[in-house]
């Protein structure tokens, strides 16, 4: 369906849980208590909402957290979602620490892509950012997934901790791997301002260090997000930039978000949500819930205002 600005909404990010086995400084800095078990949507409730979403034209789903694989039954849910009539694509975003164990099952399900969060290749800095010494575990999962022929993308958030060595170390990971590396401008959450590097600063740094970047036409790399991709001379992989602050892409935004407690969020920035959990648990019919979803999607804001405000609440609670 289309929203009030004429954008066609086809993509929903689904947070299975706000829990995570890492404590990344830019994602859950306040260390707030997690939602109680009874507050979280059941898998049956999520699948019911996804079925209604498909009827509204949303047929591409991203499964996120927190960390989705810390929730028991996540693999089974992903398989059921993949088989849901009308679903065209199911992808997963993970921190990669638990991924390798599940790769054979994900391949068997036919998952369409795996995004792995990785902000540095420096072991000590990784530990400082995440609170866990798990870099080698994540790198092993990246290697295994790529070897299995899976569609792998790495996500690196540009924070005030990001330095030249981090940028160059990550870029070298794609030299001999057919995967995409995306640098993501930090967005302001939990009252914090975004003080990280910009996409243009990354591009300029790489040019100064002798990397030749060629911008690829839109749609050259499969995906539902706003990344702009580049070919890097001499490398098998691709470089992507997601510039929420300095390359605003709201006019082409095609997504909504479903939080783990059933809040339908039409824009990452906008504080307004629709409580679908209450609708589900009060006995509303599919027709009534579908109308709530339609009205929320139609009212999607024209654009975010990250440059003016910060978002209250952590990314882990909204869905990374």
In this prediction, residue 259 carries a pLDDT of: 97
- Which is higher by pLDDT, 32 or 45? 45
Mean of pLDDT over the chain: 91
Task: Check which CATH number belongs to the domain holding 105 and give it.
Answer: 3.20.20.70
Q: What pLDDT, in 10s, does the model give residues 190-204?
A: 555 567 889 999 999
pTM summary value? 0.92
- 3 domain residue, yes or no: no
Name the domain count of the chain. 1
In this prediction, residue 25 carries a pLDDT of: 81
- 1 domain residue, yes or no: no
- 39 domain residue, yes or no: yes
Query: What's the whole-number mean pLDDT along residues 178-185?
Result: 95
- 100 domain residue, yes or no: yes
In this prediction, residue 230 carries a pLDDT of: 97
pLDDT band of residue 303 (cuts 50, 70, 90) is confident
In this prediction, residue 195 carries a pLDDT of: 72
In this prediction, residue 311 carries a pLDDT of: 55
- 92 domain residue, yes or no: yes
In this prediction, residue 320 carries a pLDDT of: 57
Q: What pLDDT, in 10s, does the model give residues 47-77?
A: 999 999 999 999 999 999 999 999 999 999 9
Here the tokens at position 40 are: 């979280």
Bridge-based pairing state of the strands 89-94 and 213-215:
unpaired
Measured CA to CA, the distance from residue 43 to residue 253 in angstroms comes to 27
- 162 domain residue, yes or no: yes
Query: What's the whole-number mean pLDDT along residues 112-138?
Result: 97
Here the tokens at position 179 are: 């995967």
In this prediction, residue 308 carries a pLDDT of: 55
pLDDT band of residue 309 (cuts 50, 70, 90) is low
Between the alpha carbon of residue 206 and those of residues 89, 120, 201, 203, 233, the distances in Å are: 33, 16, 9, 5, 12
Q: What pLDDT, in 10s, does the model give residues 88-100?
A: 999 999 999 999 9
3-state SS of the chain is CECCCCCECCEEEEECCCCCCCCCCCCCCCCCCCCCHHHCCCHHHHHHHHHHHHHCCCCEEEEECCCHHHCCCHHHHHHHHHHCCCCCEEEEEECCCCHHHHHHHHHHHCCCEEEEECCCCCHHHHHHHHCCCCHHHHHHHHHHHHHCCCCEEEEEEECCCCCHHHHHHHHHHCCCCCCEEEEEECCCECCCCCCCCCHHHHHHHHHHCCCCEEECCCCCCCCCCCCEEEEECCCCCEEEEECCCCCCCHHHCCEEEECCCCEEECCCCCCCCEEHHHHHHCCCCHHHHHHHHHHHHHCCCCCCCCCCCCECCCHHHHCC
Nearest to 261 by CA among 14, 10, 4, 1: 14
On whether the CB atoms of residues 27 and 159 are closer than 8 A, the answer is no
Measured CA to CA, the distance from residue 159 to residue 25 in angstroms comes to 9
Measured CA to CA, the distance from residue 299 to residue 59 in angstroms comes to 19
**pLDDT of 313 higher than 60:** no
- 4 domain residue, yes or no: no
- Which is higher by pLDDT, 206 or 34? 206
What is the span of the domain harbouring residue 268?
11-318
In this prediction, residue 192 carries a pLDDT of: 56
**pLDDT of 316 higher than 60:** no
- Which is higher by pLDDT, 268 or 192? 268
In this prediction, residue 95 carries a pLDDT of: 98
Q: What pLDDT, in 10s, does the model give residues 223-259?
A: 777 889 999 999 999 999 998 665 567 888 999 999 9
Backbone angles phi, psi at 170, to 5 degrees: -70, -40
pLDDT band of residue 305 (cuts 50, 70, 90) is low
- 220 domain residue, yes or no: yes
In this prediction, residue 221 carries a pLDDT of: 82
């Amino acid at each position: 369906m289309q929203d009030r600005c004429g954008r066609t909404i086809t993509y929903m990010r689904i947070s299975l849980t706000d829990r995570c086995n890492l404590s990344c400084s830019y994602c859950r800095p306040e260390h707030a208590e997690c939602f109680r078990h009874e507050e979280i949507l059941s898998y049956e409730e999520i699948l019911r909402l996804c079925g209604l979403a498909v009827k509204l034209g949303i047929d591409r789903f991203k499964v996120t957290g927190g960390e989705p694989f810390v929730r028991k039954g996540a693999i089974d849910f992903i398989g059921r979602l993949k088989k849901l009539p009308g679903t065209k694509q199911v992808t997963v975003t993970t921190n990669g620490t638990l991924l390798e164990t599940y790769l054979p099952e994900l391949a068997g399900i036919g998952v369409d892509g795996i995004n792995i969060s990785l902000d540095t290749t420096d072991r000590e800095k990784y530990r400082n950012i995440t609170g866990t010494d798990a870099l080698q575990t994540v790198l092993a999962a990246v290697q295994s997934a790529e070897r299995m022929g899976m569609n792998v993308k790495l996500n690196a958030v540009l924070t005030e901790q990001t330095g030249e060595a981090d940028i160059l170390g990550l870029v070298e990971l794609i030299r001999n791997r057919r995967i995409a590396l995306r640098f993501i401008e930090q967005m302001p959450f939990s009252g914090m301002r975004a003080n990280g590097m910009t996409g243009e600063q990354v591009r300029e740094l790489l040019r100064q260090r002798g990397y030749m970047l060629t911008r690829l036409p839109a749609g050259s790399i499969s995906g539902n997000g706003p990344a702009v991709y580049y070919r890097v001379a001499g490398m098998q992989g691709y470089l992507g930039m997601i510039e929420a602050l300095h390359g605003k892409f709201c006019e082409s935004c095609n997504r909504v978000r479903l939080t783990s407690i059933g809040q339908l969020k039409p824009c990452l920035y906008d504080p307004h949500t629709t409580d679908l959990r209450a609708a589900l648990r009060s006995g509303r019919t599919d027709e009534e819930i579908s109308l709530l979803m339609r009205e929320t999607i139609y009212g999607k804001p024209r654009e975010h205002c990250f440059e003016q405000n910060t978002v209250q609440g952590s990314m882990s609670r909204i869905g990374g």
